[in-house]
Chains A and B, each alone.
Chain A
């Protein structure tokens, strides 16, 4: 059983320390710019998109698979929404709902490719990603579609509560994080994800349905990405076919940094959220101190490698622990025999 004192030895504590350290380093390095209100808002804006896509990635990673089309699905949903609202005059709220549904269909197609055609998830979602990017260019061209005077989208993008301090999209994201976190840790559905992620075959023989779950998780990932896409266009006021493509791997990176084991079965939403924070702060910090966007990509790669290395080290340490405990139990077993 967990005790209060053990919090300081958990990985969450390590992650928190990393977050604080990053904040301090970048604040000093950027001579205070890092914690200016406008920059904090940039971090939060980035966190909104990262958070939504990251939740979907976290769920899928716990199940042992991944979806690298999430960014493309989000961008495409944004383009569809802009197309319907700006060019066809459909009310923006309805346009957003249709766009999200279209995104979900893309997720369903991912699941069909993976479960029926038995494509590896990486290949299936990568091809989906190419298709949707191409389709996005056809709809919005590289100029994009600009968004003007749309009631619903303006509400999502511009409304701020508490004296203009907290944008509505932050509230939406936090709500999603909390609800998804509770679903994961407290409900039958959440448990099913862990069990199927831990061993699909055994889970099926326990009467669970991993295939059905796979469909739900890919559709869920696409749903969250589409919501992120809508939020993006409502804030930036332009629907671009490449709006979220840089989020191809960030969800996966955040999940790994937050301690979701590659291959599934262990990890949780708290860790994922901390992983997302690290990524958001890091990306912002790198650009605040003056590196250009190309560097951010290099650093992201490095961060992913670090995350995977930590995962591998943890796995190895775990294996050692397992051996040690079995050695110990074998020894005590021996004592019992002789006694």
Chain B
């Protein structure tokens, strides 16, 4: 009998976001099905529902005819579903064979581990996959690719009917990818249900038979891989022609004199950083995740220690010992991690907006509640924050509204904002709000502020920023004007060795 998994009417909401809406999907055994969509489309959440890690608010999982409701990952594993995550779930100190048999180690009657049996069975599995791995080697000493293979062997040993891969090729090299694909095809030919999540178009067309496309938490459609094209898939994923959003931006056309000048900046994480930012300019920072962009900004903001180098603000040399001093000088930072570093989640919208200017909202000894409310209200109106009251706690807001609260905080008229640093401002925000954020960025520039715009989404930086600085491994590797920038030349700089 052919295996299949059918998800029916799956819904799941998290604070501030509806992660999955009315998902219906049937995945057949004997085929590799790709699950694709933009960041935040809900792919990982859907995988977690399958693996029993998240309990959906509604919906059922039909596993080849059996209706399942998982409330614990163990139940999903017992039912035959294995998910191989980006972060490997192995015990690094234990050997390969122990990891493969981690929840079912062969033992004798006294409960002691039967090492000979364990090794024999582990070796059999390793040979089935045609791999060159020593079963007694501690997993921590294996390469990333080999560790992934151990994960796959674990799933195989459990005799899983459904095997899901979450971005499996991200840490792999070409030769390793070949091995992985060989094994995936083997699993497919055994009739297993294989679900494959990836961002890489090339390999999706290489390895998968079916495509399931998600967008904003909903299932858009499914396609037979051989009958579609990359362009069509991208359009389905994004749900619109990308070009328009950017074409309609009202940009600033009067770029002023130099506002900020960084020269030879060194910290523990970044080296020899020099650049200039002009009044009214949107300066993009592109690069791969971990290239050191966030660290440059932290140093600028007085949060990380500067080892050497000079920073000049309007020609005057400055050095900030704490974020407080940077804020007083007019440099504001919207950090990358909104929930951990940006917002004070259990506090209200108004508390969050007034946080950096408490001193200016005092009347004698006490806080002046009226001017605080006025300040928050002004922010709410300016950025169109959708909320019934300013007392609403920020944890209850959607990602887009949360970002607007942070923008309102840093551009209030109690602060003399000269430079605004936006670190991944559109991360986890839905497409409609993204366009709003782009326009806000341009508006800030039109007011004569200097805006630093960090983003890992290439199209976004290329289209919003006036000038783009590219970083790689803690160094600046190049600078491109928007007119000359293409995905190819920026990416080449970002991956420069």
Give chain A's interface residues, CB within 8 Å of chain B.
Answer: 1, 186-188, 191-192, 194-195, 198-199, 201-209, 261, 265-266, 319, 321-323, 325-327, 329-330
Let me know if B359 and A202 touch, CB within 8 A.
Answer: no
- A204 and B341 CA atoms in complex are apart in Å by 9
Residues of B within 8 A of A188 (CB): 358-359, 361-362, 367
A3 CB, nearest partner CB in chain B, Å: 13
* Nearest B residue to A325, CB-CB: B396
Let me know if A198 and B345 touch, CB within 8 A.
Answer: yes
B71 CB, nearest partner CB in chain A, Å: 16
Let me know if A191 and B358 touch, CB within 8 A.
Answer: yes
Residues of A within 8 A of B21 (CB): 330
Other-chain contact of B355, A1, A208, A330 (Cβ < 8 Å): A208
Let me know if A203 and B344 touch, CB within 8 A.
Answer: yes
Give chain B's interface residues, CB within 8 Å of chain A.
Answer: 13-18, 21, 57, 301, 303, 322-324, 327-328, 333, 335, 340-347, 351, 355-356, 358-359, 361-362, 365-367, 386, 389, 391, 395-396, 398, 409
* Nearest B residue to A261, CB-CB: B346
- A194 and B393 CA atoms in complex are apart in Å by 13
A235 CB, nearest partner CB in chain B, Å: 33
B117 CB, nearest partner CB in chain A, Å: 44
Let me know if A207 and B13 touch, CB within 8 A.
Answer: no
Residues of B within 8 A of A321 (CB): 396
Residues of A within 8 A of B386 (CB): 329
Question: Do A266 and B346 contact each other (CB < 8 Å), given the known contacts A206-B409, A207-B327?
Answer: yes
Nearest 3 A-B pairs (CB), nearest first? A207-B324, A198-B344, A330-B18
Let me know if B14 and A323 touch, CB within 8 A.
Answer: yes
Let me know if B323 and A207 touch, CB within 8 A.
Answer: yes
* Nearest B residue to A265, CB-CB: B346
Other-chain contact of B347, A187, A198, A330 (Cβ < 8 Å): A198
Let me know if A204 and B347 touch, CB within 8 A.
Answer: no
A325 CB, nearest partner CB in chain B, Å: 5
* Nearest A residue to B365, CB-CB: A187
Let me know if B395 and A322 touch, CB within 8 A.
Answer: yes
Question: Do A326 and B14 contact each other (CB < 8 Å), given the known contacts A1-B389, A199-B345, A202-B342?
Answer: yes
Let me know if A199 and B398 touch, CB within 8 A.
Answer: no
Let me know if B358 and A194 touch, CB within 8 A.
Answer: no
Let me know if A265 and B347 touch, CB within 8 A.
Answer: yes
Let me know if A326 and B359 touch, CB within 8 A.
Answer: no
Residues of A within 8 A of B391 (CB): 1
Instruction: Beyond the given A204-B303, A265-B344, please list 8 additional residue pairs across the A-B interface where CB-CB is below 8 A.
Output: A198-B347, A205-B333, A205-B341, A206-B327, A209-B322, A322-B395, A325-B396, A330-B17
Question: Do A195 and B13 contact each other (CB < 8 Å), given the known contacts A1-B389, A186-B366?
Answer: no
Main secondary structure of the interface of B (DSSP, over half): mixed
- A188 and B361 CA atoms in complex are apart in Å by 9
Let me know if A322 and B366 touch, CB within 8 A.
Answer: no
Residues of A within 8 A of B366 (CB): 186-187
- A115 and B442 CA atoms in complex are apart in Å by 42
- A48 and B327 CA atoms in complex are apart in Å by 43
- A305 and B135 CA atoms in complex are apart in Å by 48
B331 CB, nearest partner CB in chain A, Å: 11
Residues of A within 8 A of B340 (CB): 199, 201-202
Residues of A within 8 A of B301 (CB): 205
- A326 and B395 CA atoms in complex are apart in Å by 10
- A206 and B359 CA atoms in complex are apart in Å by 12
Let me know if A195 and B355 touch, CB within 8 A.
Answer: yes
Question: Do A327 and B342 contact each other (CB < 8 Å), given the known contacts A186-B366, A195-B355, A205-B333?
Answer: no
Other-chain contact of A205, B335, B365, B367 (Cβ < 8 Å): B335
Let me know if A326 and B344 touch, CB within 8 A.
Answer: no
> 7 A-B contacts, Cβ less than 8 Å apart?
A187-B367, A199-B343, A202-B340, A205-B323, A205-B342, A265-B344, A326-B398
- A238 and B366 CA atoms in complex are apart in Å by 41
Residues of B within 8 A of A202 (CB): 335, 340-344
Residues of A within 8 A of B327 (CB): 206-207
- A329 and B399 CA atoms in complex are apart in Å by 12
A203 CB, nearest partner CB in chain B, Å: 6
* Nearest A residue to B301, CB-CB: A205
Question: Do A204 and B13 contact each other (CB < 8 Å), given the known contacts A194-B351, A199-B345, A326-B396?
Answer: no
B368 CB, nearest partner CB in chain A, Å: 10
Q: Among the interface residues B13, B303, B322, B327, which one has the most CB atoms of the partner chain A within 10 A?
A: B13
A119 CB, nearest partner CB in chain B, Å: 23
Other-chain contact of A323, B13, B322, B409 (Cβ < 8 Å): B13
- A202 and B398 CA atoms in complex are apart in Å by 18
A6 CB, nearest partner CB in chain B, Å: 13
- A261 and B346 CA atoms in complex are apart in Å by 10
B263 CB, nearest partner CB in chain A, Å: 25
B202 CB, nearest partner CB in chain A, Å: 33
- A209 and B358 CA atoms in complex are apart in Å by 13
Question: Do A195 and B341 contact each other (CB < 8 Å), given the known contacts A319-B15, A329-B398?
Answer: no
B374 CB, nearest partner CB in chain A, Å: 16
- A204 and B346 CA atoms in complex are apart in Å by 16
Let me know if A206 and B355 touch, CB within 8 A.
Answer: yes
Let me know if A194 and B347 touch, CB within 8 A.
Answer: yes
- A319 and B57 CA atoms in complex are apart in Å by 14
- A205 and B341 CA atoms in complex are apart in Å by 7
* Nearest B residue to A326, CB-CB: B16
Let me know if A191 and B389 touch, CB within 8 A.
Answer: no
Let me know if B322 and A322 touch, CB within 8 A.
Answer: no
- A321 and B15 CA atoms in complex are apart in Å by 9
Q: Among the interface residues A195, A198, A204, A323, which one has the most CB atoms of the partner chain B within 10 A?
A: A198
A171 CB, nearest partner CB in chain B, Å: 22
- A205 and B322 CA atoms in complex are apart in Å by 9
Let me know if B344 and A327 touch, CB within 8 A.
Answer: no
Other-chain contact of A327, B18, B355, B359, B367 (Cβ < 8 Å): B18
Residues of A within 8 A of B409 (CB): 206
Other-chain contact of A326, B17, B324, B347, B365 (Cβ < 8 Å): B17
